[in-house]
Chains A and B, each alone.
Chain A
Amino acid sequence: MKIEFWGQEFKVNLAIGIPGAFLIAIASSMFGFGGGPFMVPLMAVGLRLPMYVIVGSSLLAIFFNTLMGTFRHYGFGNFDLIFFLIMFPAAILGGYIGPKIAKKLNPVMVKRVACIGLLILALQLLGIF
């Protein structure tokens, strides 16, 4: 598939893109997260697209997944309204504070901290740590 972005033309390999997006969507809707951190590398490495093409379009693709996942979870009775009402304002607050702090921090340091934090969490889930 050929796409045009701000006057530049890119070729997108759908044989990688569609199965990849499909599998990421299954995993992320199953565990209940967005899927962005997996879609961005898929589009950057698998589809060889530059970052400025990815940022907006990956968000749109993920939105489809989140929307469907939300409806499906709701249908299966997995949605707890009161729990949602507690978390929703907190998530908006986080989305408001985050970008304000982000400017003052070194992104590489943040990612390294996140990397260690994720590993600890993973080992705890696997019952090793």
Chain B
Amino acid sequence: MKRFLNFFVVFFVLTVFVSTGMAQKPAEQKAQEQKPVEAPKEAQSAETVTVSVDKTNLSGGGKLTITGKAPAGKDVYIEVWAEKTIRAARLDADPDPKTGKRPYIFYMTDDMPAFYRLIVPEKYKPVLEDAKAKGGKWSVSEVIKNAGADAVYGYPAKLKIDRYQTSLWASIIGSRGTKLEPMDEKENKRRSMQLLKARFRSVGNVFSSNLKIAEDGTFKATVEIPANTAPGKYFVVAKVDKDIKSEPVIVENSVTFPSVYLPNAGRTVNVIWPFLLTAAITTFGVLMGAGGGFILNPILVMLGLPHTVVAGTVMPTVLFSQGTGIYNYSKINFINWKLGVTLGLAMLAGGFIGPKLTELITLDQYKFLFGWVLIILAALMFWQTTPKYLEKNKKEQAILKEFQKRAQEAAKKKAEGGK
């Protein structure tokens, strides 16, 4: 009984401790949060922008209507971004226009919002159309400049971007290279635009011109939060200038099962589809005598998942089946360890370098190289259906079966002998 009492006393004290600690924290946070709210009051005497949204809760994305009022006769821009962040990376290997040298600097951030949209006034629609017409060669900075949005491009400009001086040697030893000094504000802004493109790829995924401004300064915009984007808070800010801007409006997006958010891929998916796809392709993979990764990876990449995450997540899924395969073959003594380990060590070295390269290449390069890998594989498959190969294979398969039978018998005998 005494022990119980002691336990209760300790438990009680702990509960009090924890709850008071918890109660204090929000109070501190509130005090901090209140400070910045006061600042715009002073500015209110000058020009202000107000903004509101038609709903503050979304479920699995949806259409948001943004309305507000800005000083009459001025261009208004709206930035919308998600609280959830993802990684964006880019290797700068473009030759310097003056010296012709390739810089080989690797830029990377883990703070890229999972969703970003800069809504420009409707009159700049032709700017977006021009950029779209350029295909893969469009640039974020050019659109921002031509749409007069240089002063209002705000949130991504302040991303914390790391940069590394990489080299061939660094790639071989599997490092990202030497980390360079942080960039100044202007350079950070410029690089953030390149990373936006590297991550979101198309003009329509970064910009929209769905913003009508009336003569009296009221404006109305719509933005579609896609179903496959992140859950959590979304921030909406209307801006006229760097300093004349509204307070952020917060919209909460929720995602419910069977949809789940893949935090590293930065996407919401319905679990049923990747499950069925993987099951179907691995089944087919067994039939054609190759792992499913060859078909699964390109399809996942085409569905819009980042190639780094696809490569990094499909690989561990086959680890288990390979392990069971090795176990089954070793049971019937069908593995030559000397051969397997010798070639395995060479592959160990290769496996060290490969994943580094995944990070360095762009999605287009990934698709191009993978395309050729698949053509080679198709040629190998074709060769395996030629009559000459089949004849040879028939004999070998017969020997293989004979060996397996003998091996199994031997294993059986051994097991019986052991008893």
Contact = CB atoms under 8 A, between A and B. Distances in A.
Contact of B359 (A38, A76, A89, A105): A76
Interface stretch (B75-83, B229-237, B274-282): B274-282
B264 to A, nearest CB: 4
Interface string B311-351: 11111111111110110011000111111111111111111
Interface in A87-128: 87-95, 97-99, 101-102, 105, 107-108, 110-112, 114-115, 117-119, 121-127
Nearest to B400: A52
Interface stretch (B90-98, B120-128, B180-188, B372-380): B372-380
A78 B312 contact: yes
Nearest to A43: B343
Q: Dominant SS at the A interface?
A: helix
Contact of A79 (B264, B352, B369): B264
16 contacts: A3-B336, A22-B350, A26-B357, A41-B383, A51-B400, A52-B334, A52-B400, A52-B403, A55-B329, A57-B335, A66-B315, A80-B265, A86-B269, A91-B318, A102-B287, A122-B372
Contacts of A117: 295
Nearest to A127: B367
A98 B366 CA distance: 29
Interface string A53-94: 101111111111111111011111111111110111111111
Nearest to A98: B286
B308 interface: yes
Interface of B: 87, 110, 174, 260-265, 269, 271, 274-295, 297-299, 302, 305, 308-323, 325-326, 329-330, 334-359, 361, 366-378, 380-385, 390, 393, 396-397, 399-400, 403-404, 406-407
B322 A62 contact: yes
Contact of B312 (A32, A92, A94): A32
Interface residues of A, number: 97
A61 to B, nearest CB: 4
Given A25-B348, A33-B294, A98-B286, 19 more contacts: A25-B351, A26-B357, A28-B350, A29-B353, A34-B318, A37-B290, A59-B335, A61-B344, A62-B344, A64-B341, A66-B322, A69-B315, A69-B355, A78-B264, A82-B263, A91-B318, A95-B321, A125-B298, A125-B367
A36 B372 CA distance: 17
B342 A63 contact: no
A25 B291 contact: no
B33 to A, nearest CB: 31
B339 A57 contact: yes
A76 B407 CA distance: 42
List 4 tightest A-B contacts by C-beta distance, closest first: A25-B350, A98-B286, A78-B312, A94-B282
Contact of B355 (A23, A72, A92): A72
B347 A83 contact: no
Nearest to B272: A86
Contact of A26 (B353, B381, B407): B353
B263 A33 contact: no
Contact of A86 (B263, B278, B286, B406): B278
A80 B265 CA distance: 7
A94 B375 contact: no
Contact of B378 (A56, A64, A118): A118
Given A1-B342, A17-B343, A68 B348 contact: yes
Contact of A72 (B283, B334, B354): B354
A107 to B, nearest CB: 8
